[in-house]
Chains A and B, each alone.
Chain A
Amino acid sequence: MSLTQAEIATALRECPLLAACTPQEHARLLAAAQCCEFPAGTDIIRAGEPADHYYRILDGAAELITAQARRTLGPGDDLGAEALADAPAGQARHLATARAMTAVSALRLPRSALTAPAARDPRIRSGALLGLAARLGELPPPDTQAPAPKAPAPLPLKQRIGWVATLTLPLLAWYAGGHLGLPQHSAVYLGLFTMTALMWLFSLVDEYIPPIIAVVAMLFIDLVPAQVALHGFYSRTFLLLLGVYALSAVLVSSGLAYRVMLGILARLPDSPFWHRSALTAFGFVLSIVMPSSNARLALLLPLYREMDDSLAAPAHSREATGLMIATFTGATLFSPLLLTAKSSNLAAFTMLPIQVRQEFQGIWWLVGAGVVAVGLLACHLLAMRFLFRADTSRRALPAERIAGQIAVLGRLRPQEWVAALAFLLFLGGAAVPQWHQSQPAWLAGFVLASLLALGLFDKRGFQTGIDWPLIFFLLALDGLTQAIHYLGLTEVMIDTVGHRFDWIGGQLGWFILLALAVTLLLRLALPLTAGMILSATLLMPIGMDQGIHPWVVLFLTSLFSDIWFMPHQNSSFQQVLAGGLRARCDETLFFHYAWWLNPLRVVLAYASIPYWRWLGLY
Chain B
Amino acid sequence: MKNRLALVFASLFTVLLLALLVAFNHQKPRVLILHSFSETGPWETAVNTGIQRELARNRRPIAVRWRYMSFSGDMSPAQWAAAGRRNQGAVDSWEPDVLVAIGEEAQVHVGRHYAGRPGPRLVYAMGEDPASFGYTTAGNVTGVHEALPLAQIVELLRHLGRPALRIRALGIDDPTGQAEGQQVRSFDWGPHRLLGVDLVDDFEAWQATVHAAARDTDVLLVLSTGGLPRGPEDPTETDRLFVADWTERESKPLAVGVRESFVAGGGALAVIPSPYGLGEQAARKALDVLASIRDGTPLPPPEDSLEFQIALRPARLAARGIQLPALYAQAARASQSLYD
CA distance A183 to B291 in the complex (A): 13
Encoded as 1 (CB less than 8 Å from any B CB) or 0, chain A from 335 to 356 comes to 0000000000000000000000
The reply to whether A222 and B61 form a contact with Cβ atoms under 8 Å apart is yes
B5 within 8 A of A: yes
The reply to whether A160 and B25 form a contact with Cβ atoms under 8 Å apart is no
CA distance A156 to B56 in the complex (A): 45
CA distance A154 to B3 in the complex (A): 7
The reply to whether B17 and A217 form a contact with Cβ atoms under 8 Å apart is yes
A439 within 8 A of B: no
B2 within 8 A of A: yes
Of A217, A221, A223, A486, most buried by chain B (CB within 10 Å of CB) is A221
**Which residues of the partner chain B approach A204 to less than 8 Å between Cβ atoms?**
9-10
B46 within 8 A of A: no
A167 within 8 A of B: yes
Also in contact, A163 and B9, with CB within 8 A (given A221-B24, A221-B28): yes
Also in contact, A222 and B17, with CB within 8 A (given A152-B2, A159-B6, A167-B12): no
B90 within 8 A of A: no
Instruction: State how many angstroms separate the Cβ of B211 from the closest Cβ of chain A.
Output: 54
The reply to whether B62 and A183 form a contact with Cβ atoms under 8 Å apart is no
The reply to whether A154 and B5 form a contact with Cβ atoms under 8 Å apart is yes
The reply to whether B13 and A184 form a contact with Cβ atoms under 8 Å apart is no
The reply to whether B16 and A167 form a contact with Cβ atoms under 8 Å apart is yes
User: Which residue of chain B is the closest to A205 with respect to CB atoms?
Assistant: B10
The reply to whether A222 and B13 form a contact with Cβ atoms under 8 Å apart is no
Instruction: State how many angstroms separate the Cβ of B45 from the closest Cβ of chain A.
Output: 19
The reply to whether B24 and A155 form a contact with Cβ atoms under 8 Å apart is no
The reply to whether B61 and A188 form a contact with Cβ atoms under 8 Å apart is yes
The reply to whether A183 and B59 form a contact with Cβ atoms under 8 Å apart is yes
Encoded as 1 (CB less than 8 Å from any A CB) or 0, chain B from 222 to 251 comes to 000000000000000000000000000000
Contact of B21 among A152, A153, A205, A220 (CB under 8 A): A220
User: Which residue of chain A is the closest to B294 with respect to CB atoms?
Assistant: A184
Instruction: State how many angstroms separate the Cβ of A125 from the closest Cβ of chain B.
Output: 26
Instruction: State how many angstroms separate the Cβ of B42 from the closest Cβ of chain A.
Output: 24
User: Which residue of chain B is the closest to A223 with respect to CB atoms?
Assistant: B61
A398 within 8 A of B: no
CA distance A154 to B9 in the complex (A): 13
**Which residues of the partner chain A approach B162 to less than 8 Å between Cβ atoms?**
none
A546 within 8 A of B: no
Q: Could you tell me which residues of chain A, from 45 to 86, have a CB within 8 Å of some CB in chain B?
A: none
Q: Could you tell me which residues of chain B, from 1 to 56, have a CB within 8 Å of some CB in chain A?
A: 2-6, 9-10, 12-13, 16-17, 20-21, 24-25, 28, 56
The reply to whether B62 and A222 form a contact with Cβ atoms under 8 Å apart is yes
Give the size category of B's interface with A.
20 to 34
The reply to whether B59 and A185 form a contact with Cβ atoms under 8 Å apart is yes
The reply to whether A183 and B16 form a contact with Cβ atoms under 8 Å apart is no
CA distance A163 to B16 in the complex (A): 12
The reply to whether B21 and A217 form a contact with Cβ atoms under 8 Å apart is yes
A252 within 8 A of B: no
CA distance A223 to B12 in the complex (A): 23
The reply to whether A221 and B21 form a contact with Cβ atoms under 8 Å apart is yes
User: Which residue of chain A is the closest to B5 with respect to CB atoms?
Assistant: A155
A487 within 8 A of B: yes
User: Which residue of chain A is the closest to B14 with respect to CB atoms?
Assistant: A213
Instruction: State how many angstroms separate the Cβ of B112 from the closest Cβ of chain A.
Output: 30
CA distance A222 to B60 in the complex (A): 9
Contact of B25 among A167, A221, A486, A487 (CB under 8 A): A221
**Which residues of the partner chain A approach B212 to less than 8 Å between Cβ atoms?**
none
A488 within 8 A of B: yes
**Which residues of the partner chain A approach B62 to less than 8 Å between Cβ atoms?**
222
Also in contact, A167 and B13, with CB within 8 A (given A185-B61, A188-B61): yes
Also in contact, A222 and B28, with CB within 8 A (given A153-B3, A155-B6): yes
Q: Could you tell me which residues of chain A, from 379 to 414, have a CB within 8 Å of some CB in chain B?
A: none
Instruction: State how many angstroms separate the Cβ of A150 from the closest Cβ of chain B.
Output: 9
B322 within 8 A of A: no
**Which residues of the partner chain B approach A152 to less than 8 Å between Cβ atoms?**
2-4
Encoded as 1 (CB less than 8 Å from any A CB) or 0, chain B from 166 to 184 comes to 0000000000000000000
**Which residues of the partner chain A approach B5 to less than 8 Å between Cβ atoms?**
154-155, 160
B63 within 8 A of A: yes
CA distance A223 to B6 in the complex (A): 29
CA distance A490 to B332 in the complex (A): 37
CA distance A204 to B7 in the complex (A): 11
Q: Could you tell me which residues of chain A, from 142 to 177, have a CB within 8 Å of some CB in chain B?
A: 152-155, 159-160, 163, 166-167, 171
User: Which residue of chain A is the closest to B2 with respect to CB atoms?
Assistant: A152
The reply to whether B17 and A155 form a contact with Cβ atoms under 8 Å apart is no
Contact of A213 among B4, B17, B59, B61 (CB under 8 A): B17
**Which residues of the partner chain B approach A155 to less than 8 Å between Cβ atoms?**
3, 5-6, 9
Of B3, B56, B59, most buried by chain A (CB within 10 Å of CB) is B59
CA distance A545 to B325 in the complex (A): 43
CA distance A167 to B60 in the complex (A): 25
CA distance A161 to B63 in the complex (A): 36
The reply to whether A188 and B13 form a contact with Cβ atoms under 8 Å apart is no
Instruction: State how many angstroms separate the Cβ of B120 from the closest Cβ of chain A.
Output: 19
CA distance A533 to B316 in the complex (A): 59
**Which residues of the partner chain B approach A220 to less than 8 Å between Cβ atoms?**
21, 25
**Which residues of the partner chain A approach B12 to less than 8 Å between Cβ atoms?**
163, 167
Encoded as 1 (CB less than 8 Å from any A CB) or 0, chain B from 46 to 84 comes to 000000000010011111000000000000000000000
Q: Could you tell me which residues of chain A, from 173 to 212, have a CB within 8 Å of some CB in chain B?
A: 183-185, 188, 204-205
Instruction: State how many angstroms separate the Cβ of A559 from the closest Cβ of chain B.
Output: 34
CA distance A221 to B19 in the complex (A): 12
CA distance A151 to B156 in the complex (A): 87
Instruction: State how many angstroms separate the Cβ of B32 from the closest Cβ of chain A.
Output: 15
**Which residues of the partner chain A approach B21 to less than 8 Å between Cβ atoms?**
217, 220-221
User: Which residue of chain B is the closest to A199 with respect to CB atoms?
Assistant: B13
Also in contact, A222 and B59, with CB within 8 A (given A152-B3, A163-B9, A167-B16): no
The reply to whether A185 and B60 form a contact with Cβ atoms under 8 Å apart is yes
**Which residues of the partner chain A approach B60 to less than 8 Å between Cβ atoms?**
183-185
CA distance A199 to B4 in the complex (A): 18
The reply to whether B6 and A184 form a contact with Cβ atoms under 8 Å apart is no
User: Which residue of chain B is the closest to A222 with respect to CB atoms?
Assistant: B61
**Which residues of the partner chain B approach A154 to less than 8 Å between Cβ atoms?**
3, 5
CA distance A155 to B2 in the complex (A): 10
**Which residues of the partner chain A approach B17 to less than 8 Å between Cβ atoms?**
213, 217
Instruction: State how many angstroms separate the Cβ of A158 from the closest Cβ of chain B.
Output: 12
**Which residues of the partner chain A approach B2 to less than 8 Å between Cβ atoms?**
152
Instruction: State how many angstroms separate the Cβ of B125 from the closest Cβ of chain A.
Output: 23
CA distance A166 to B13 in the complex (A): 8
CA distance A487 to B57 in the complex (A): 10
Contact of B59 among A163, A221, A487 (CB under 8 A): A487
CA distance A188 to B21 in the complex (A): 10
CA distance A222 to B22 in the complex (A): 12
Q: Could you tell me which residues of chain B, from 250 to 289, have a CB within 8 Å of some CB in chain A?
A: none
User: Which residue of chain B is the closest to A213 with respect to CB atoms?
Assistant: B17
Instruction: State how many angstroms separate the Cβ of A476 from the closest Cβ of chain B.
Output: 16
Encoded as 1 (CB less than 8 Å from any B CB) or 0, chain A from 241 to 276 comes to 000000000000000000000000000000000000
CA distance A155 to B60 in the complex (A): 40
Contact of B63 among A159, A222, A486 (CB under 8 A): A222
Instruction: State how many angstroms separate the Cβ of B285 from the closest Cβ of chain A.
Output: 20
**Which residues of the partner chain B approach A153 to less than 8 Å between Cβ atoms?**
3
Instruction: State how many angstroms separate the Cβ of B25 from the closest Cβ of chain A.
Output: 6
Q: Could you tell me which residues of chain A, from 220 to 245, have a CB within 8 Å of some CB in chain B?
A: 220-223, 225
- 14 sampled A-B residue pairs with Cβ under 8 A: A163-B6, A163-B12, A167-B12, A185-B60, A185-B61, A188-B61, A204-B9, A213-B17, A221-B21, A221-B25, A221-B28, A221-B61, A222-B62, A223-B61
Q: A152-B2, A152-B3, A183-B59 are in contact. List 19 more A-B contacts (CB 8 A).
A: A152-B4, A154-B3, A155-B3, A155-B6, A159-B9, A160-B9, A163-B10, A166-B13, A167-B16, A171-B20, A184-B60, A204-B10, A213-B17, A220-B21, A221-B21, A221-B25, A223-B61, A225-B56, A486-B59
Chain B residues with CB under 8 Å of chain A are: 2-6, 9-10, 12-13, 16-17, 20-21, 24-25, 28, 56, 59-63
Complex A-B, nearest 4 residue pairs according to Cβ-Cβ distance, in ascending order: A163-B9, A155-B5, A152-B2, A185-B59
